[in-house]
């Protein structure tokens, strides 16, 4: 049958493949049956250091026993929502819908409302014609790999066709989505009079970010907050930070925030109009938490692609950078395993496990503003010097273990010797394409470029 789940749930063209109405209902039916017979498999193992993220605040939480479904602003969302509801109903699982809600909002409310499971309908930063399905554990994290594998096995063993008959009517909890805004507002200090530019990517943050920042007293300049189902991420948002940078410069804003379609990522623009990514957040907040003795194990988690300059900057402040495979899923898993509370990627997906179980662009913005206020700084002062980086992609015909190929092993060793302790080289295969990626970082752009080209040529000669 092949793998259904990728590193970030299920994604496809809306209405096609595993996102066809019949297959969406099959997936929900399989997940519902597993949820009914063995709910423990969907729960996330949370270390004691994160006890505050284990469950809902009270037995009166509105979602107890329900599967909570939220979606972004894509026009295909309501149809997928209906297909999911039919599938869960066929498995005897009651459903509640939250309407348009950011991915982190689904995660937060799944936990706070005591839901049995959360489901997000979103393709995040993908084009409007795509969509996806992500399952959220009762604690608000992505469900364990074993749970996704169990759903795939159930489908492969014949979870049954899509149910027929009238669609069930889920419980509508969209009027309670303000609980998510209350949660975020409770984490922030007042922003009285601060001039803030927001780019909502015509996505899920459109109905939330303007209300949040205005509620906190900011003077907001709102852009791309008029979703029509077809304009999500289109020439706007976190994928196009130059747009909000132009607004910041034109309007003289203190800071600019650009979200992606489902609002789990944030790219920032400082008061000078310079773009600052997730690594700036990790440096600023990691060092601040370390100074306040609130950074467990003095460790921040990011991926193998994190810039060497970030590692050097953190190390100078006594903070270790722990690297994982590329993907926020792997960052979150490492954080759960090690009991750390701060991690993320350059893309702007940042996790603050001391506050919430999921990456949240609006939460990240509030945390950055809070740290800057405590330190009496502007965002431009939090920037650090990144090392020059070159990334080359080489198409390959085979994928042997890289260090078992003598020519490649020698080329990599020679590059490492040239860089010494002032840089690094990473050679890895793509997980989805016949491509080998060669990444080199170092103190001088010319050196980095030359070493990357030498190693890439060796890859092409041996593996193409």
366-389 residue pLDDT tens: 999 999 999 999 999 999 999 999
Predicted pLDDT of residue 61: 79
- Residue 169 is classified by DSSP as -
The CATH superfamily label for domain 276-365 reads Alpha-D-Glucose-1,6-Bisphosphate, subunit A, domain 3 (3.40.120.10)
Q: Mean pLDDT of all residues in the chain?
A: 93
267 forms beta bridges with 258
CATH topology for 389-463? TATA-Binding Protein (3.30.310)
Structure pTM?
Answer: 0.91
Predicted pLDDT of residue 166: 55
pLDDT-derived band at 169 (thresholds 50, 70, 90) equals: confident
> Does the domain at residues 180-274 carry the CATH identifier 3.30.465.10?
no
Is the separation of the CB atoms in 7 and 124 below 8 Å? no
Domain segments of the chain: what residues?
10-175, 180-274, 276-365, 389-463
Cα 118 from Cα 394, distance rounded (Å): 39
Q: How far is CA 186 from the centre of its chain?
A: 22
281-295 residue pLDDT tens: 999 999 999 999 999
Predicted pLDDT of residue 46: 82
Cα 435 from Cα 381, distance rounded (Å): 38
Q: Alpha helices of 91-177 — where are they, by DSSP H?
A: 103-112, 145-156
Predicted pLDDT of residue 164: 52
Q: Which of 25, 76, 122, 124 is catalytic?
A: 124
pLDDT-derived band at 59 (thresholds 50, 70, 90) equals: low
Q: Is 168 a catalytic residue?
A: no
Q: Are strands 195-199 and 219-223 parallel, antiparallel or unpaired?
A: parallel
> Does the domain at residues 10-175 carry the CATH identifier 3.30.70.20?
no
pLDDT-derived band at 55 (thresholds 50, 70, 90) equals: low
């Amino acid at each position: 049958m092949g793998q259904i789940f990728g590193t970030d749930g299920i994604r496809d063209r809306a209405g096609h493949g595993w996102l066809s109405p019949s297959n969406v209902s099959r997936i929900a039916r399989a997940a519902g049956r597993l949820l009914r017979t063995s709910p423990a498999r969907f729960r996330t193992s949370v270390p004691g250091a994160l006890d505050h993220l284990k469950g809902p605040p009270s037995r009166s939480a509105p979602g107890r026993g329900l599967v909570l479904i939220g979606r972004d602003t894509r026009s295909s969302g309501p149809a997928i929502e209906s297909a999911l509801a039919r599938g869960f109903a066929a498995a005897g699982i009651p459903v509640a819908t939250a309407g348009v809600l950011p991915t982190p909002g689904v995660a937060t409310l799944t936990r706070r409302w005591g839901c049995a499971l959360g489901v997000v309908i979103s393709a995040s930063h993908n084009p409007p014609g795509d969509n996806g399905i992500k399952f959220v554990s009762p604690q608000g994290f992505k469900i364990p790999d074993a749970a996704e594998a169990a759903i795939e096995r159930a489908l492969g063993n014949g979870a049954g066709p899509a149910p027929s008959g009238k669609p069930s009517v889920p419980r509508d909890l969209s009027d309670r989505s303000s609980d998510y805004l209350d949660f975020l507002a409770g984490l922030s200090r007042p922003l009285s009079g601060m001039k803030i530019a927001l780019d909502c990517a015509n996505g899920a943050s459109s109905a939330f970010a303007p209300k949040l920042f205005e509620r906190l007293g900011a003077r907001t300049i709102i852009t791309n907050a008029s979703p029509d189902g077809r304009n999500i991420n289109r020439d706007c948002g976190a994928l196009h930070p130059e747009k909000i940078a132009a607004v910041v410069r034109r309007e003289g804003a203190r800071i600019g925030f650009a979200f992606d379609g489902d609002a789990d990522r944030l790219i920032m623009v400082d008061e000078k109009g310079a773009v600052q990514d997730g690594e700036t957040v990790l440096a600023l907040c990691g060092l601040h938490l370390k100074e306040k003795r609130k950074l467990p194990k003095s460790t921040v988690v990011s991926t193998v692609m994190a810039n060497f300059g970030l590692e050097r900057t953190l190390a100078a402040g006594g903070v270790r950078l722990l690297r994982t495979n590329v993907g926020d899923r792997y960052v979150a898993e490492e954080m759960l395993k090690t009991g750390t509370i701060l991690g993320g990627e350059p893309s702007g997906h940042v996790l603050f496990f001391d506050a919430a179980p999921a990456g949240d662009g609006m939460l990240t913005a509030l945390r950055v503003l809070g740290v800057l206020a405590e330190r009496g700084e502007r965002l431009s002062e939090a920037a650090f010097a990144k090392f020059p980086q070159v990334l080359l992609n080489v198409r390959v015909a085979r994928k042997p273990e890289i260090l078992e190929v003598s020519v490649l092993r020698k080329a990599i060793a020679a590059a490492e010797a040239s860089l010494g302790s002032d840089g690094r080289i990473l050679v890895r295969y793509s997980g989805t394409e016949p491509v080998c990626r060669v990444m080199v970082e170092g103190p001088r752009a010319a050196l980095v470029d030359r070493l990357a080209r030498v190693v890439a040529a060796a890859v092409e000669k041996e593996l193409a």
